[in-house]
A and B are shown apart, each in its own frame.
Chain A
Amino acid sequence: MTIDRPDAGLPDDGWQRLHPLSPVARVGRLVPAIVLLFLVSTVHSKAENGRAETDYLVVITLASAVYGYVHWMVTRWRFEGDTLRIETGLIRKDSRRLPLARIQAVDIVRPLLARMLGVSELRIRVAGSGSTDGKLAYLAEAQAAELRLALLAGHHDTGVAVSSNTGLPMAIVTTGRLLGSVLLSLVSIILMGTIATLAVLDEFEPRTAAAVAGLLAVYLLSFAGVIWRRLSGQYAFIAVEGPEGIRIRRGLLQTISETVPYGRIQAVRQVEPLLWRPFGWCRLEVDIAGATARNQRGEGTAVVRKALLPVGSQQDSWHLLARLLGAPDPERTPPPRRARLKAPLSFHFLSAGHDGMHAVCVTGRINRATTWVPLEKSQSIRRVQGPLQRPLGLATVHVDVAGKRARAEFRDREVAEADRLVEELSELSRLARLHHQPAPGASAGGGGVAPSGWYPDPSGRHEQRYWHDGHWTEYVGDGGRRSSEAVTRTP
């Protein structure tokens, strides 16, 4: 499916409304709560005097229905050149313009009721700040899919084909494996352990058991809630390769379609908890920059951590990693043996290494975590030597990337090696930034070139520059406005 213009196939002039069933889907979310209230008040009043006081429920239902309908009446959207405009609000007008060039991701969310009605919600995330995100709830399923493609096509400039056909799945999580992984998590083990203990206690001291159960009920319920969210959120997880990023679809009652864009990955973490290791399972997380650097004033830019793979084999994980970062496999070396004195537990897995493109390090004992950081994303290199490390002649080197949590740590290396690493890593990061391979595929030998699209301008004069067919074009973008400027080779 090829779309020439973002607005091709959609009425160019004139506003569009949301799906007529939107009020139903919107208000419908309140139905369980209203039913619950009704039941509670019925039972309560039965006990009191036999008459149910349900008038206020009728009022609530009517009011929310009216609200839903009015909200639908006043909400409209349309394309205005290179921006999508969404207007809503009766008393307090809210008009948002979302520049297509700055759209980062378009997610489709479908709650249970919306699925039954055949509508879905579109969430549009824009670079800049969190408050400019757009939301269209709800659109017909087909329209939502079409609009998503149109938005992504607009993001990718005109004339670039954006295919809707989903390629081969890169990773699938089967229900059995998901169940197994959740059962073998810390939360469920604590939950099951507590329940088992209570059951045993119940045999001997029923009174105490009941009292303890009453005390712990809230915690047990919230633990069960966490487990349920993990199960229902990651149910039927499937990752598919798309032109702009890896597309993920997941969910049991509410399905979510989201995209992990290739160019914005700050770090990838593979976690292998102790209990999963016998099965060779691991979890893959990515840190994605949410906002552009220049608009942010504060400690660390907004960075989102996403589960790229809730549970999978090493092979699945490697497959995804190869697509995202271009098969990074730098040789890793362990720290010197005397580091055991400083890190007796984690020494077992501790190792780190780097090549021209990536730094990789392994840390942790119970949860073995492997972190990959593309050097072109490094924000600073730090060498830290604590009072325990100094007598041992050890030092740690950090490669910091945007955000508060993500970094690669070369822990407990020899001092001479650490000094050399600081020099080498900062030089390699500089080179990686200059040659700025905009996306992963470009670095992989024979792995093809990066997909066409808007990426940060390597010359630094503009916010973005269009990359097409393996080379930079003269098209540049600043704050959503397009212009052209010839490519000059950066030294």
Chain B
Amino acid sequence: MTVSEEQAWLHPSPGLWLMRRAEVVTVTVVLAAFFGVVFLAAKGPSAGVISVVVMLTIGAGFSWFVRRRYRAWRYQERHEDLIVARGVMVRRLSVVPYGRMQFVEVTAGPIERLFQLSTVKLHTAAAASDARIPGLEVAEAARLRDRLTELGESMAAGM
């Protein structure tokens, strides 16, 4: 997809992939251990091993999907607007002019903080326009926030 070649696409930090992978691995290990113990107790050792293998396979598949989702996130700061693209199943691309921005929100949940990441979100007057960029390193998030605020103020167009 070539929306514009004037600037390169930027991507979330590799830390986001690390974080997503850690989430998937944790959930997979917990579930595999749980089902493994349950089936071991109920049906014997072979059932326990099979259930663990099944859970690990599902986890691996999920991990592949999460990786694709991580790689689909990208954004581009152009002269007049910000472009954010995301999604694997449903591919979305939003173009938000700086002048339409009402405020910028930087959030960092507990898991994000563990990986020193934060999410930047742009709010406009339209509820539908979603420009959210997750998994930015703290410094990059701060830079983006300041730059967006500055651009938003200089180009404010109101309603």
- Give the distance to chain B from A363, nearest Cβ to Cβ, in Å: 15
Partner of B159, one of A301, A422, A430: A301
> At the interface, yes or no: A297 with Cβ under 8 Å from chain B?
yes
User: Given A293-B159, A419-B2, A380–B131 Cβ distance below 8 Å?
Assistant: yes
Assembly CA distance A398 to B93 (angstroms): 10
User: Does A463 lie within 8 Å of B158, measured CB to CB?
Assistant: yes
Assembly CA distance A460 to B156 (angstroms): 5
Tell me which of B17-25, B35-43, B84-92, B132-140 binds A. B84-92
Among A143-194, those with CB < 8 Å from B are: none
User: Does A460 lie within 8 Å of B157, measured CB to CB?
Assistant: yes
User: Does A422 lie within 8 Å of B91, measured CB to CB?
Assistant: no
Partner of B126, one of A297, A380, A430: A380
> At the interface, yes or no: A300 with Cβ under 8 Å from chain B?
yes
User: Given A400-B129, A403-B125, A460–B99 Cβ distance below 8 Å?
Assistant: yes
Which 10 residue pairs spanning A and B have beta carbons closest together?
A: A300-B127, A380-B129, A402-B125, A379-B126, A400-B126, A301-B125, A383-B93, A379-B124, A385-B91, A381-B95
> At the interface, yes or no: A368 with Cβ under 8 Å from chain B?
no
Partner of A404, one of B4, B102, B127, B130: B127
User: Does B95 lie within 8 Å of A430, measured CB to CB?
Assistant: no
User: Does A422 lie within 8 Å of B3, measured CB to CB?
Assistant: yes
User: Does B126 lie within 8 Å of A433, measured CB to CB?
Assistant: no
User: Does B158 lie within 8 Å of A460, measured CB to CB?
Assistant: yes
Residues of A within 8 A of B90 (CB): 384-387
Among A387-408, those with CB < 8 Å from B are: 387, 390, 395, 398, 400-404, 407
| Contacts beyond the supplied A383-B91, A384-B92, A404-B127: 14 A-B pairs with Cβ under 8 Å | A297-B102, A299-B123, A300-B125, A380-B96, A380-B124, A380-B131, A383-B93, A387-B90, A402-B126, A407-B126, A422-B93, A430-B80, A430-B81, A433-B99
User: Does B92 lie within 8 Å of A382, measured CB to CB?
Assistant: yes
Q: Which of A294, A300, A382, A422 has the most CB of B within 10 A?
A: A382
Would you call the interface of chain A mostly helix, strand, loop, or mixed?
mixed
- Give the distance to chain B from A377, nearest Cβ to Cβ, in Å: 7
Between A and B, 10 residue pairs with Cβ closer than 8 Å are A293-B125, A297-B103, A380-B124, A398-B128, A400-B129, A426-B80, A426-B81, A426-B95, A429-B97, A463-B158
> At the interface, yes or no: A292 with Cβ under 8 Å from chain B?
yes
> At the interface, yes or no: B100 with Cβ under 8 Å from chain A?
yes
> At the interface, yes or no: A456 with Cβ under 8 Å from chain B?
yes
User: Does B159 lie within 8 Å of A289, measured CB to CB?
Assistant: yes
Q: Which of B2, B124, B131, B155 has the most CB of A within 10 A?
A: B124
> At the interface, yes or no: B114 with Cβ under 8 Å from chain A?
no
| Chain A interface residue number, banded | 35 or more
> At the interface, yes or no: B116 with Cβ under 8 Å from chain A?
no
- Give the distance to chain A from B156, nearest Cβ to Cβ, in Å: 4
Residues of A within 8 A of B4 (CB): 423
Scan B109-125; emit 1 where CB is below 8 A from any A CB, else 0. Answer: 00000000000000111
- Give the distance to chain A from B93, nearest Cβ to Cβ, in Å: 4
In the complex, residue of chain B having the shortest beta-carbon distance to the beta carbon of A456: B158
In the complex, residue of chain B having the shortest beta-carbon distance to the beta carbon of A289: B159
User: Does A403 lie within 8 Å of B93, measured CB to CB?
Assistant: no
Among A38-97, those with CB < 8 Å from B are: none
User: Does A292 lie within 8 Å of B126, measured CB to CB?
Assistant: no
> At the interface, yes or no: B94 with Cβ under 8 Å from chain A?
yes
In the complex, residue of chain A having the shortest beta-carbon distance to the beta carbon of B2: A419
Assembly CA distance A294 to B130 (angstroms): 18
Residues of B within 8 A of A400 (CB): 124, 126, 128-129
